[in-house]
Structure 1
Amino acid sequence: MPAVIDRHPRFPLLLLYSEPFIMRRFSFLFLPLLLVGLVLTGCDSTGSMSDDDGADQIEVPATYTFQSRFVEGESAVAYPGQVTRNLLISDIKALTDQRAGTPTRDDLFNRYEYDAQNLNILLSTDPAPAQSVYPDIATGKSLSGKATASYSDVALIGVGDLANFSSGATADVVIRAYLDSIATNYADGETAPEAYTTAEGVDMGQIVNKLLLGAVAYSQGTAKYLEDVLTQQASPNTQDGQKPYSTMGHVWDEAYGYYGAARDFSESGVFYDANGLVSKADDRNGDGEIDLESEVVFTWADYSVDRGTVNGINFHIDLFESFREGRTAIINQASIDSIRAHAADARSTWDDLVASNVVHYLNAMESDVAGLSDSDTVTRAALGSDGAESFNEHWGEAKPFAWALQYNPDKKISDSELESLHQILGGAPPYGKTKAEVVQDINDAKALIKGAYQFPDANMNNW
């Protein structure tokens, strides 16, 4: 519905007949009419309550679907840049893992530094995507530009423990170095997993992928759009130029875009059920193809299901609800404090989600060494090739998810606790320690997270 201002006349007769004598003569007739008029100004022609500008109030919808107040018949929701960056992150992971051919340096860096290149989208869906190249969605949406933005252009805590990195290295520095190493290894004829694994056992593909999720999607979603930029907005009803949405509404949409849920991300059993994720893509409108802008579940939303179906914690439900409620509050021109309260809820739950991922991969590391005796030394040979690959992978996820925690301005864990956590994790998978020592380190790391986040023991043990 387009914005409507002053839908009902503001009683011009009051000015024409404001002479005191006439007013005294006709006050007994005028006042009842005035009361009727005041009632009418609070309702539209259908009787639904309206806000101060005459725009109909809406209930929180079941899906992330909102109609424009400014342009009749158009959607108020748009976040093509965030969809493009989620696709780029996903496609870089497919390339580094050699799931999409053997990547060249250009394959990797053209996606990290994406501007307007006519590059193929690598994500496959069934049915096939409606969009085949990135410019079908957006151009000028580089990952590197966001990884070097003020929200993420900071030294990674504990990064100096990694081989070949100084203590001041940022996410961008690590990402570029590892992408270059991966491309060089593939060019030299190596194959996965050796091509993306360092001599110390660091899974460079996992580090790159999780750093992109943290330094780009998570930092932009929480520190920028749900915090800094939202705080600068004065009114939820200021139209963004000639666009069909308000400036504040678009800011909110961009945060939702980085979260990466489909528009219809509900408990319908389509994308997930009580047991976890059912599908990452679904043709919701029945047009025979997958719209990558609205019908796909990207990584953070996927993780929220994985961790949100364990022992009653519902990250996916809570985040989707916070985003829908906040966007509804913007449409209804609620108070700024009310809108920011929904943003705080989303930031807090997203923070919990990241922390739960660290716990999950710490638990996975413990499972990787479960077959050893406490006194056995953890080595590649002791774990076997498949076991070592899994151990490397899980450490390579726990470490960058711990880095991601530092980007949320409302994180529950302190910087000093993060420093302790990274000291425990170290700069590579803990080869050379006994199984008992590795398990003790894992338990110490989990205790730090438990103390900061107060997760139930059942979740700490079963994520």
Structure 2
Amino acid sequence: MLASAAGCDPQTSGGSGEVDVPDVYAFESRFDPEASSVSYSGQTFRQVLIASIEAELSKVQDELDAGAVFEAGEVAARLSFYYRFESETGGSLPHLLTTSPPPRQTTWDDISTDKDLQGKIAGNDPEGQHADWSRDLLGWSSAGSPDALVLRWFDEVDALAVAYAAQLPVDPQGVQYQVFYVSPQGVHYGELMVKFLLGAVNYSQGTDDYLDDDADGHGLLSDNTMPEEGEPFTALEHAWDEGFGYWGGARDYLAYTDDELAGEGGRPDYAAGWHDTDGDGTIDLTREINFGASVNAAKRDRGSVVPTDLSDQTMRAFLHGRAIIAAVDGDLSPEQLAALQQQRDAAVLGWEQSLAATAVHYINDVLQDMAAADYDFTGHAGHWSELKGFLLSLQFNPRARLSRDDLTRLHALVGEAPVAPGSAEADAYRADLLSARALLGTAYGFDPANLGDDAGQGGW
């Protein structure tokens, strides 16, 4: 995916008339011509918090390998630092995200303030939620709420760190391995927790809050007549921006190729998924880097057999919707709202399809892991845990293509831990994975060629 030309692309938006749709997510304020009306630093902050949980696990691993011994509760507290982040105590500290050139924002306060993950996870931010997450969470037994599940996982990782210092863990075949946050049952907590948070925070907030339209004065029904207090943007502009920020694309996302977004080559200045677009010698984390779901979309486009363009579809819908809002000096008419909802639906569908396609990708990886002559337990655990995390995420969209019954069926097929290739259950589990993949393919209309063969080869 690479935009064919810079500038604006005039398009018709239903009853809203002609609007200029730019190739870059940049929109001038209606109230201050010297200011941008785009703002989503809080969403960037949470993207960095989630990435930092993964980085913190790596730090703990390095310390364990150097001989550190942890008391019970220490590692859970280190993970909770990011999940329950408090600007008063942590804001002046450096964040853990590294780029080259270095980030413009070096401390947490440089990105934003008074933001955390716990307050925004599904169920803890009750406004507009489409489910009661204290009882409706699917996919993990005795999970309670999403918040309770994350805290439970922190405790389980903590126990693994304490045990690791005493003795290296062994896999089901009796072989020692050296990744403390992989359980002997094959749960890779790093991958599982990060992918779950990208769903239970980012995807939930984006689709079930800021881009939703089920409550007056909220989401797409927010005010567009006046600026928010002290700000150069309206509540509606800000709501759309926050949805975009949770998806995670850079402002000039269309300037990247799929290889560059996936970190698989391309121009040197773009090839890591970021680019110093303004030439100031730093990477602005609020506009010049790609996070989360926006990267997954490009990875699936890059790996498709029958071409897909989920990345372009989703970004252009975000651009088009924001252009509709920017073109209206006041509240939207019913026709303009319908046009905006159409672009919301396209953006959310692209987001959802990229998550589902990524689940297909990891089903294929797990099938290949189970058939490999040189079996890699921790690699298998990582692929299975990514699969599970993406499947758990799909339930947080109020407009999900998958029914609750379909989601329940998917989780029954995939289970709560991988199955070892030499076990008595291996053949049946392979069949279950193929059934899960077929269910996803049918629900999302994926071309069979992108699903792959029975060995997990040839597709995503």
Normalised by the length of structure 2, the TM-score is: 0.79
Residue ranges of structure 2 left out of the alignment (5+ in a row): 1-16, 64-73, 169-176, 266-270, 453-458
Partners of 1:247 and 1:223 lie apart in 2 by: 16
1:149 to 88, 102, 125: 125
Instruction: Report the counterpart of residue 171 of structure 1 in structure 2.
Output: 146
1:313 aligned onto 2:302:
no
Amino acid at match of 2:315: F
**AA paired with 1:417?**
D
Report deviation, 1:184: 4.1
SS in 2 for 1:67: coil
* Alignment of 1:225 onto 2:210: yes
Q: Which residue of 2 aligns with 1:10?
A: none
Contact 1:61/1:324 (8 A) holds in 2:
yes
Which range is displaced more, 327-336 or 197-206?
Answer: 197-206
Q: Distance in 1 between matches of 2:326 and 2:77?
A: 43
Post-superposition CA distance 1:122-174 (Å, at most 9, x none): 111001111111111112111011112234834421311xxxxx1x5222122
Cα distance change, pair 273–250 in 1 and its aligned pair in 2 (3 A) = closer
TM-aligned CA distance change 1:242 to 1:139, over 3 Å: closer
Larger radius of gyration: 1
Higher relative contact order (CA 8 A, sep 6+): 2
Q: Which amino acid aligns with 1:451?
A: T
State the one-letter code of the partner of 1:326: G
Describe how 1:264-283 pairs up with structure 2 within 5 A: 264-269=252-257, 272=260, 278-283=271-276
Equivalent residue number for residue 81 of structure 2: 110
What amino acid does structure 1 have at the position aligned with 2:44?
A: V
Q: 1:240 aligns with which of 192, 216, 228?
A: 228
Name the aligned partner's letter for residue 157 of structure 1: L
> 1:177/1:289 Cα in 2 relative to 1: closer, same or farther (>3 Å)?
same
1:276, distance to aligned residue in structure 2 (A): 5.9
Q: Secondary structure at the match of 1:59?
A: strand
- Please give the secondary structure, in 1, of the residue aligned with 2:32: coil
**2:326 maps to 1:331:** yes
Distance 1:292 1:367, change over 3 A: same
How far 1:100 moved relative to its partner? Answer: 8.2
When normalised by structure 1's length, the TM-score is 0.79
1:428 is matched by which residue type in structure 2? A
Instruction: Check conservation: 2:297, 2:354, Cα contact below 8 A.
Output: yes
Task: Report the CA distance between 1:92 and its aligned residue.
Answer: 0.4
Residues 100 and 123 of structure 1: CA distance in aligned 2, closer, same or farther (over 3 Å) = farther
Say which SS state the counterpart of residue 22 (structure 2) adopts: coil
Q: Please say if residues 265 and 271 of structure 1, whose CA atoms lie closer than 8 Å, have aligned partners that are also in contact.
A: no
Stretch of structure 1 that moved more, 399-408 or 84-93 = 399-408
Contact 1:226–1:344 (Cα < 8 Å) also in 2: no
Paired residue for 2:158? 183
Deviations 1:230-264 (A, max 9, x none): 2432x534322231111100000000000111111
Cα deviation for residue 114 of structure 1 reads 0.8
1:193/1:61 Cα in 2 relative to 1: closer, same or farther (>3 Å)?
Answer: farther
CA contact (8 A) 2:28 2:37 kept: yes
> How far apart are the structure 2 equivalents of 1:273 and 1:108?
28
Distance 2:163 2:425 in 1: 35
Amino acid at match of 1:250: H
Deviates more, 1:193-202 or 1:243-252: 193-202
Give the aligned length.
389
Residues of 1 paired with 2:111 and 2:263: CA distance? 33
C-alpha distance in structure 1 between counterparts of 2:424 and 2:399, whole Å: 35
Which of 279, 283, 293 is the equivalent residue of 1:290? Answer: 283
- Superposed CA deviations along residues 423-463 of structure 1, whole A, max 9, x for unmatched, are 11112112334543232111111111122111001211211
1-structure distance, mates of 2:256, 2:296: 18
Determine the structure 2 residue equivalent to 1:13.
Answer: none
Query: Structure 1 residues 406, 456: CA separation in 2 closer, same or farther (over 3 Å shift)?
Result: same
Give the stretch that moved more between structures: 332-341 or 181-190: 181-190
Tell me the distance in 1 between the aligned counterparts of 2:339 and 2:195. 32
| RMSD across aligned positions (CA) | 2.4
Tell me: CA distance 1:206–1:342, structure 2 relative to 1, closer, same or farther (3 Å): same
Q: Verify the 8 A CA contact 1:270 1:282 in the aligned structure 2.
A: no
- Among 380, 387, 401, which residue is 1:391 paired with? 380
**Alignment partner of 2:431 out of 440, 447, 451:** 440
Change (3 A) 1:132 1:267: closer
Partner amino acid, structure 2, of 1:361: Y
- 1:45-444 alignment to 2 at 5 Å? 59-98=20-59, 101-102=62-63, 104-116=75-87, 117-118=90-91, 119-147=93-121, 148-150=124-126, 151=129, 153-154=133-134, 155-160=136-141, 166=142, 168-187=143-162, 189-190=164-165, 193-228=178-213, 229-233=218-222, 235-269=223-257, 272=260, 278-309=271-302, 310=304, 311-333=306-328, 335-371=336-372, 384=375, 387-431=376-420, 432-444=423-435
CA distance in 1 between partners of 2:414 and 2:385 (Å): 10
Identity of aligned residues (%): 30
